Amino acid sequence: MIVINTEDCYLCKACERACPNEALKLNPLKVCMLCGNCVNACPNDALSLREINIDGKKIKQIGYNPSKCDLCGECVKVCPNNLKIEENKLKGFCVGCMKCIDACPDGFVGMEGVVEPNKKEIILPKEPIVVTDDCIGCGICANECPVNAIEIKDNKAVVDESKCIYCSICAQTCPWNAIFVAGRKVPKRDKTIKKFEVDEELCIGCGVCVEVCPRNLIKIENMVAIPPVGCPACGLCVNACPVNAITLEVEYEPPKPVSEEGLVWVEENCNYCGSCAMKCPTRAIRVINKRGMELPTKRKTEEKEKFRMCVRCGACTVACPTGALKLGKITHNGKEYNRIEFKPHLCNKCGKCVEICPYNVLELTDNNEMPLKGFCVMCLKCVEACEKIKRNALALK
């Protein structure tokens, strides 16, 4: 089975793009586990679980005979991960080709019992927020910081701790994992490279992009720069190109709630039923269920992010010009937690809090008595609702 060091992975997705059968997806990681469920479910013996020898080592793979397959979909029903029928083809099973391993520029991809994935040795800093020497000064963290607490000085990100709200969005977004908040490795924020192109007519093959790339991912062939299959999308090559021949367009997914204290979402326990969202009195939780409906409104949505919630980071309170929003405290079981406090009579509906909210949960309403929704008051009704259905996807820590 393919194994990936997701803690150190830069999410360049070279491994994902190299897989010929779409058996590997990142963030969240879903990889063919070679469990054999599909093999057992197939009524036509089109699938088999077998071993092959590569360099004297035995590797498991799923064998597939398309001539026997009638695309009935029984295998897809029992697959816990990526198996699907698309364009009249069955995709998502691992054939043991190890192309994903070869594609990873840092060796973070391996195969169980054959190749161990590399692990980056790093001593986690204990300070509230630290920018390590891995920082290349690309400026992406500064662009994404909701409170403008980061600037680039001498090719390195510098954090103004008097402004920082420790929301960890900089650490989630950093292409090279150079920022740490509260001494933790946070989950990476997903992204999609919409376009990464080199204009062959403009490119002069000078190699400046190759020199600035931190992992030598760009190559020069026939005096033209060739973008890599996978890339963390730091954008240094774009900024360095003297003839503006490189185009890079990146779309970021919403950041994830990563707090280890307070109201915590346990993703692996969540089945996106929406009970928590339905009980939240301020709409501070949004869930997209299996039918593509956003709860609690029950409207159809195309959003990819299935779960969003206010994490009480305080960005809205920083942006509010009237003092309608403040970061307060509340005590549960003898322990103090942050909460968002809102005074409706001070709200002028300017919308600055909505614009700055990194988790995209705040919204203005037509109700003058409650002109804003989406902030968490730590009432814990969501936790109670989740406990009733015995999922424990929300907990107070």
Query: Which tens digit of pLDDT belongs to each residue from 54-101?
Result: 777 788 899 999 999 999 999 999 998 889 999 899 999 998 888 999
38 pLDDT band (50/70/90 cuts)?
very high
- What is the Cβ-side half-sphere exposure of residue 210, based on CA atoms within 13 angstroms? 13
Kindly tell me if the per-residue pLDDT of 380 is higher than 80. yes
Mean pLDDT for all residues in the chain: 90
Kindly tell me if the per-residue pLDDT of 120 is higher than 80. yes
Domains 2-111 and 191-252 fall in the same CATH topology: yes
CATH numeric code, 129-181: 3.30.70.20
Secondary structure letter of residue 115 according to DSSP: B
More confident residue, 124 or 376: 376
- Is CATH 3.30.70.20 the classification given to domain 2-111? yes
Rounded Cα gap, residues 359 and 350, in angstroms: 18
Q: Which fold has domain 263-396?
A: Alpha-Beta Plaits (3.30.70)
**What are the residue ranges spanned by the domains of the chain?**
2-111, 129-181, 191-252, 263-396
Amino acid 304: pLDDT? 65
Write the Ramachandran bin of 132: left for phi over 0, alpha for psi from -120 to 50, otherwise beta. beta
Residue 110, helix vs strand vs coil = strand
CATH numeric code, 191-252: 3.30.70.20
- Among all chains, which residue has been given the structure tokens 């398309």? 66
Amino acid 303: pLDDT? 67
- Is residue 173 within 8 A of residue 189, CB to CB? The reply is yes
Tokens standing for 316? 């809205």
Which residues 6+ apart lie within 8 Å of 298 measured at CB?
Answer: none
- Is residue 395 within 8 A of residue 383, CB to CB? The reply is yes
More confident residue, 56 or 389: 389
Between strands 246-252 and 224-226, the pairing is unpaired
Amino acid 51: pLDDT? 86
Kindly tell me if the per-residue pLDDT of 258 is higher than 70. no
